[in-house]
Structure formats: C-alpha cells, structure tokens
Amino acid sequence: MNIFWRELKYSRKSMIWWCVGILFMVVSGMSKYGTMKSSGQSANEIFGAMPKSLQAIFGLSSLDLSTVMGFYGMLFSYLVLMATIHAVMLGANMVAKEERDKTSEFLMAKPVSRIRIITSKLAASLVLLVIFNLVTYAFSTAMVKHYESTADTGEIWKFMAGLLLLQVLFLAIGMVIAAITKHPKRATSLAAGILLAAYILSIVIELNDKLDALKYITPFKYFEAKNLLSDSGVDAVLVTLAAVICAACLSAAFVFYKKRDLKS
Amino acid sequence: MNVIEIKNLTKRYGNARGIEDISFHVEEGEIFGFIGPNGAGKSTTLRTLLSIIFPTSGSATIFGKDVIKHGPEIKKQIGYLPSEVFYYDKMKVKDLLNYSASFYKKDCRKRIHELAEIMDLNLNKRIEDLSYGNRKKVGIVQGMLHEPKLIILDEPTGGLDPLMQQKFFDLLKEENKKGATILFSSHILSEVQKMCDRVAIIKEGELITVEKISTLQENNHKKIKIETKQPVDAGWFAVDGVTNIESDGHKISFLYSGNINIIMKKLAEMELSNLWVDEPDLEEIFLHYYEKEEGSK
C-alpha cells in the first residue's frame, strides 16, 4: 500500500490543476450556450453555415445544438481530449518515472516484486482517473442545470461511463508504451504523440465517409456524443474492442515491465 | 555458509561490454572487497544481484536462494547503497527514510535516529537541497535502517569527507561484528585494504583474481630500497623475482617476490649505507596484476 499512497500524494498538486482546467473548460464552454440562448440565435444555423471540415473539427456533426444536451455533446468531445491526454500521460509517467528520476535502484532494492510495484501504480492511477471523471461529472451537471434547470442530466452518466472507458484505455496505452520503450525520458512524449495521431485520424474519418471502416483503429470514435445521445446507443462491437485493447495493453505492460533491465 | 554465490555470470549490452563469466562467492560474516577501475563491471554485477538488470547467462544466489526467483524475499535482509544516490527530490529526508522503512515489516524509527545521529544528518531538510555528500549519508542510513544481514555498497565513500568516512567505516565494522556480511565495491584500494578480508579484482568485465588481502600483501612482494656508498650497476640485481628496478647510481629500489634468503645473501655481499624493506600497498600489487595481464596478451 505504501507505493499506492506515495503515488497519490505525489499526484495531488497536478490533480488540482487538472480540476481547475476541467472547471474552466466546462464553464467557458457552457457559457457560449447561455449567450446563444439569450440572444435568441439558433446555434444550429451558425454552425450549419460553416464548412463541413470546420464542423468536423468542432466535433458537432449531427448534434442538435439548440438543446442543452446537444450543446454539451459538442463540449464533451473536448473533455474527452482533455481526459485522455491526462490518462495517457499519467500512465506513461507512472511506469517511466522511477527510471527517469533515477529512483529505480532505490525501489528495486526493497523487498517488493515488480508486479506489486506496477499493480500499486495502476491502482493509484485508476483512483486519479475516477477523481477526474467525478469532477467532470459534477461540473457538467451543475453547468447544464444552471442553463436549463429542467434538463435531464441523467444522460450525463452515459457520457461519463464512455469517458471513463476511454480514460482507462489510454492509461493502459500510456503504461505499455513506457514499459516497452528503452528511453524512459521519451515515454511521455511518445504516448502523447500516439494520442494526437489517433485524434487527428478521428477527424479525418469524420471528414471522409469512405474511411468509416477505420473507426475501429482510433478510440476517439468508440464513444461519440452523437451515439451516446441517440436511442441506438454505442456499438457493442466497439465497447468490446475497447475492453480487449485495454486488457491486452495492461497485460503487455506487466509482462514487459517484469522482464526489462531498469536504467539507473 | 556462502551468503552470495555467483556462478558464470555474464551480462552483455548488445556489443557493449558488460561482464563476462564472473564467478565468486562471499562467505557469511566477511567483509568482501570488489575492486577494479571505473567501468570494469562492478556496478553491473551488483545490479544483477539485486535483479535491477537480468543476466545474459549464468546465475547468482543470495542466502542460498536464486536472486531472480526469490528477489523480494531475499531483499528483506539486504541493504543496498547505490553509487549514485538519487531520491524523490520533493521529499524531506525523514519522509524518504520512513518511506524506505515502510517496506520492511519492522519498526525502524529508533535505528533511523541512531544512524542519523552518527552520520550527522539533518532529517528535516528536503532532499533536493542536500549536497552530494549529504545525499550519500541519506543513502547510508536508508541502506542500514532495517539492520540487514547483507550490506551491498557500491562506491560508498564518494563525497564523504575523511572524518565521515571514518565514522562510516566504524559503523560498518560494528554491523559486521553483529553478524552482517558486507560486499564493498570500490576503485580506491586503500579503503578496501583497510576494511576487507578478501577481495575480487575485476578488469574490463572479467574477474582477474580472488585473494585474501593478507595473501596479496604477504606472499607476493617486498618493496626493497637500498642506498650504497659505491655506485652499483642495476644489472647486478638481475635475479629471478626482481621487478620494477629503479636506479640513480647510489639509490636503487625494486620489488621482490620469492625466497627471501636469496635476496638477503645478495644484499649481504654489498656495502650498504641504508636499507628499507616495505610491504607494498595494494595499489602497487594492483598495477602489477594489470601489467601481468597486459603482458600475457
């Protein structure tokens, strides 16, 4: 448990800053909804006049922006980007930092197995992801209620469930990258790079209907607002795929970390 | 009983040299020196013992248990001081020591304070504010706070002033008396000479010899220096066992190994004005080993 608590304590400050970031994102995003509502303009008209490529970049294809939940759906795609950046960096950092900070010789001389070390780090990371998720839920619900007190915020739970799955998925990707790479200092930037590539791919797919089959490659297509809001819900195949990738990355992270020569 | 047993240990890093076919053992209760120049493979060997890195081939046991299979179990009784001491910078010294102690299922608070007292270490400072020598002290306390049965030290004296070194050596001797086995790596021969019972000499990844310190000094060489009234030809000393002759006419010095009576007879035939016979220090023996190795290639 000592490694678990130490990791939580270590991450305290950065977690507070991420929470401030979430607050800023949700408040500033939803305040645009307030502006539009009070000016009587239809958000659908404004955004509908934009070229399709811009719409794709804003992440608002087929969302009804005149409803508060539709508008929140647009904001959600940014929250997803933020949460996944947090998760992928957290995962890479957790695994790489002992080597990067040259503390692996200290830790490895202690009577703990590598499996226990990485399990403790995984557990601490999951707690941080849940905190991120709950804070996002709290701010989102509060702001949506603020602008439409009658809105059905029960839908937000669905968003958060999708968000949490993506967070865990990117945490696992970050961890496996750091466990495999021989350059612990580069692990975090490598993980962030892979995330960015996946994000750009998701926009490209949005722009080009012919590339729809590629949606299996980028996790950003797994839980989209438009699917979460529609009655059909999310594709069961994609949920399963997310779970499988996640399990594969985590087990690979354990196997590689157990066998690697640690730098010091 | 052998506390450490290393069998044909080899570690290669791609084409770069690691260690090649190293075998030796450390007996219970001894202070064992592991000496060689920087980059000879001392740290590589020690890191393999702690399964920080894994051997290419060969194996090692500590307390009779395989270091890879039973790593966590044997580490309960190991204290390790790495050559370069790095810790979590944001932590205070006492937080780090408590964190370190939390890995062992025993109360180490009393021992932490005792050790900090001996080593004159301020527990309330942040690690990032410490000098190199003070970090080393944190490392020493950290490695000994759980009263381990085996203490592994990698270049432990770097950064410590002579007074601290002495306190540290006294501390080690005390632990040794209480029954701790100590493996001590160093490139400074005089400290090994002071501390150790036996030494392993390593060079370029290969083990050159394992000897008792006393054997190294006694059996092998005498350092002889004479002063004569008449100039003497250095060639006069060209007998078996004489090496490193240096002469400036009246003063001649050389190393001698072999039957002491032969050289005494030679000396008795001369008219001497002065004579010195010394034990060579390890440094000279060490150089001698190097030259022998070079010569045999």
Distance in Å, alpha carbon of B260 to nearest chain A alpha carbon: 49
Q: What residues of chain A lie within 8 A of the CB of B50, using their CB?
A: 105, 108-109
The verdict on B119 and B145 lying in the same domain is: yes
Is residue B120 in a domain? yes
Measured between alpha carbons, how far is residue A163 from residues A55, A157, B102, B106, B282 in Å? 22, 10, 36, 43, 67
Tell me the pLDDT tens digit for each residue of A174-189: 999 999 988 888 899 9
Residue B11's domain comprises 2-212
Is residue B291 in a domain? no
The verdict on B122 and B226 lying in the same domain is: no
Nearest residue in B to A110, CA atom? B75
The verdict on B15 and B160 lying in the same domain is: yes
Q: Which pLDDT band, with edges at 50, 70 and 90, does A92 fall under? A: very high
The verdict on B164 and B236 lying in the same domain is: no
The verdict on B136 and B208 lying in the same domain is: yes
Is residue B129 in a domain? yes
- Considering only CB atoms, B87 lies closest to which of A2, A106, A259, namely A106
Q: Which of A205-219, A245-259, B209-223 has the lowest mean pLDDT?
A: B209-223
Q: Which pLDDT band, with edges at 50, 70 and 90, does B297 fall under? A: very low
Higher pLDDT, B38 or A48: B38
Higher pLDDT, B15 or B137: B137
pLDDT for the residue numbered A40: 62
Q: Which pLDDT band, with edges at 50, 70 and 90, does B27 fall under? A: very high
Last residue of some domain: B159, B191, B212? B212
Q: Tell me the residue length of chain A.
A: 264
Higher pLDDT, A54 or A190: A190
The verdict on B108 and B227 lying in the same domain is: no
Residue B242: give its domain's CATH number.
Answer: 3.30.70
The count of structural domains within chain B is: 2
pLDDT for the residue numbered B256: 84
Q: Which pLDDT band, with edges at 50, 70 and 90, does A59 fall under? A: low
Flag whether residue A261 sits within 8 Å of chain B, measured between CB atoms. Answer: yes
Is residue B293 in a domain? no
The verdict on B32 and B131 lying in the same domain is: yes
The verdict on B193 and B228 lying in the same domain is: no
Q: Which of A142-146, A226-230, B194-198 has the lowest mean pLDDT?
A: A226-230
Whether B201 has a pLDDT exceeding 70, the answer reads: yes
pLDDT for the residue numbered B229: 81
pLDDT for the residue numbered B283: 66
Looking up tokens 């009234």 gives: B229
Where does residue A253 rank: exposed (0-12), middle (13-18), buried (19+ CB within 10 A)?
buried
Is residue B292 in a domain? no
Q: Which helix (H) or strand (E) holds B3?
A: strand B2-13
The verdict on B206 and B248 lying in the same domain is: no
Last residue of some domain: B212, B233, B249? B212
Flag whether residue A51 sits within 8 Å of chain B, measured between CB atoms. Answer: no
Higher pLDDT, B235 or B62: B62
pLDDT for the residue numbered B219: 58
Q: Whole-angstrom distance between the N-terminal and C-terminal Cα of chain A? A: 24
Please state the rounded mean pLDDT for residues B121-139: 89
Cβ–Cβ gap B72/A261 under 8 Å: no
Average pLDDT value for chain B: 85
User: Cα separation of B187 and A132, whole Å?
Assistant: 51
Please choose, from the candidates B48, B87, B35, the residue with its C-alpha nearest in 3D space to the C-alpha of residue B191: B35
Whether B220 has a pLDDT exceeding 70, the answer reads: no
Last residue of some domain: B188, B212, B236? B212
Please state the rounded mean pLDDT for residues A230-252: 85
Q: Which pLDDT band, with edges at 50, 70 and 90, does B177 fall under? A: very high
Phi, psi of A147 (to 5 degrees): -90, -30
Higher pLDDT, A163 or B281: A163
The verdict on B38 and B151 lying in the same domain is: yes
Phi, psi of B186 (to 5 degrees): -165, 155
pLDDT for the residue numbered B278: 79
Cβ–Cβ gap A111/B142 under 8 Å: no
> In this structure, are residues B91 and B165 in contact, taking their beta carbons and an 8 Å threshold?
no
Higher pLDDT, B241 or B141: B141
Flag whether residue A196 sits within 8 Å of chain B, measured between CB atoms. Answer: no
Nearest residue in A to B97, CA atom? A106
The verdict on B199 and B239 lying in the same domain is: no
The verdict on B230 and B105 lying in the same domain is: no
Is residue B93 in a domain? yes
Whether A166 has a pLDDT exceeding 60, the answer reads: yes
User: Cα separation of B95 and B125, whole Å?
Assistant: 10
Higher pLDDT, A139 or B290: A139
> In this structure, are residues B53 and B44 in contact, taking their beta carbons and an 8 Å threshold?
yes
Is residue B78 in a domain? yes
